[in-house]
Each structure stands twice: as structure tokens, then as C-alpha cells.
A and B are shown apart, each in its own frame.
Chain A
Amino acid sequence: AQSVTQLDSHVSVSEGTPVLLRCNYSSSYSPSLFWYVQHPNKGLQLLLKYTSAATLVKGINGFEAEFKKSETSFHLTKPSAHMSDAAEYFCVVSDPAGTYKYIFGTGTRLKVLA
């Protein structure tokens, strides 16, 4: 069965410093992986996705993630945090093709300090 573990429930960084949000997955096949961001009282917005093409994926707003099969990881990074990055981030893995379902991590709340 597929699963996703977000290793940190809360991360605090200072504005202008790097961001690292960690995600490990478990999958019996080659998965599709996604990072979504959710600002308060809003829906989820896709940041980036991995679907078996390039292992280093670039997304919106300067975010990127690297798929590492040997480590079963898909960590999200950004070189320099901005105040507007403060939000909840979800790592998501696709369930096997045919179920059309997605497995969510528990989320990481990113706080950006001035």
C-alpha cells in the first residue's frame, strides 16, 4: 500500500533563508508525487509534480523538489523564503492507476519569521 510521511509538522525559517520540507513515501511501484500549498481558508494549489520524467522538478514560486528513489524521498526546497510562503504544505502520492485516489501526508506548517 502507498503511504506518505511528512517528517516535520512545523517548520520555522527566517525570511531570506532556505526552506526544506521533508517527505518520504512508500510505494510498491513507480509513483507520481505532488506538493501542494494551502493558504488559510483557501483550496490547495499545486506547486510541482513528479511523474517519472526528470528527477529534479521545478515548480512555481521558486520551489523545487528532487525525487530520490534510493531514499524514497521527495523533499521540497526553496533557496530563499518569502513572507508569502507561510502556509500549510502537503506531500501527496498517487494510488495505483485505476483507483484515481491520492494519499496525503499529514502536512507541514511553514512559518516565516521577519
Chain B
Amino acid sequence: DAMVIQNPRYQVTQFGKPVTLSCSQTLNHNVMYWYQQKSSQAPKLLFHYYDKDFNNEADTPDNFQSRRPNTSFCFLDIRSPGLGDAAMYLCATSGTSVGEQFFGPGTRLTVL
């Protein structure tokens, strides 16, 4: 089945220690997204790619960066995680038409 895969599902890191979350897709979609979701809140868009074209949200902290080396993979790098960065991180994809997004299962990040 075509899908969006996120690894790891759970990540524990220490305050200030860099961490990378990964996302892959078998849908061959052009657009990939990273969202941050805190408890009892809606997902908040951090950035998205249309192919290699990177689009950063204005309020995304500089601490967050992303890479998309090819169509299938996308990475979220958190350079110096703070306690406030503990959250669920969701990866999603969509095709070029205005259809639905497809979400991965998420990575739960804990910062100690």
C-alpha cells in the first residue's frame, strides 16, 4: 500500500542535543509537509516543499531546518532542542491538485 512512513515513532533527546526526524513516502507526491502538534492543539505547519522548492512559515523558529534530498524522503532537523519543542511531529504529502493530504503516523519527541 502507498503510504507515508515516519521514523522513529518515538524519539528522546537531551536539551540542546541535535535530533533528526525522517519521513518517506511511496505516493510519489510532489508536496511534502512538516507539522508540529502539541497536546490538544491542531497541527501547526512548519514548512513544506513543492519538489525541491522550500517554503518556510514566517513563525517557524530558526532552530528548525529541513532537507529533501529526493522525491521520496524529507528530514526535519532540530539543531538545539528546547523543552518547548517536545511535541508530535507529523509528516504529510499531497499531489499537485488540491486534494487531500496523506499523513504519516507521527514522531513523538521528548526533550529531557
Assess whether A104 is in contact with B94, with CB atoms less than 8 Å apart.
no
> Which range holds the interface residue count of chain A?
20 to 34
Residues of A that sit less than 8 Å from B by CB? 32, 34, 36, 41-46, 49, 51, 88, 90, 92, 94, 97, 100-102, 104-107, 109
Query: What is the interface of chain A mostly: helix, strand, loop, or mixed?
Result: strand
Q: How many residues belonging to B are interface residues under a CB distance threshold of 8 Å?
A: 24
CA distance A49 to B95 in the complex (A): 15
CA distance A13 to B7 in the complex (A): 36
CA distance A102 to B103 in the complex (A): 13
Assess whether A100 is in contact with B41, with CB atoms less than 8 Å apart.
no
CA distance A97 to B106 in the complex (A): 26
Q: Which residues of A contact B94 (CB under 8 A)?
A: 100
Check: B105 CB closer than 8 A to any chain A CB: yes
Could you name 16 residue pairs across A and B whose Cβ atoms are closer than 8 Å? A32-B99, A34-B100, A34-B101, A42-B106, A43-B4, A43-B6, A43-B104, A45-B103, A46-B101, A46-B102, A49-B100, A97-B98, A100-B31, A100-B48, A106-B42, A107-B40
Contact of A44 among B6, B48, B90 (CB under 8 A): B90
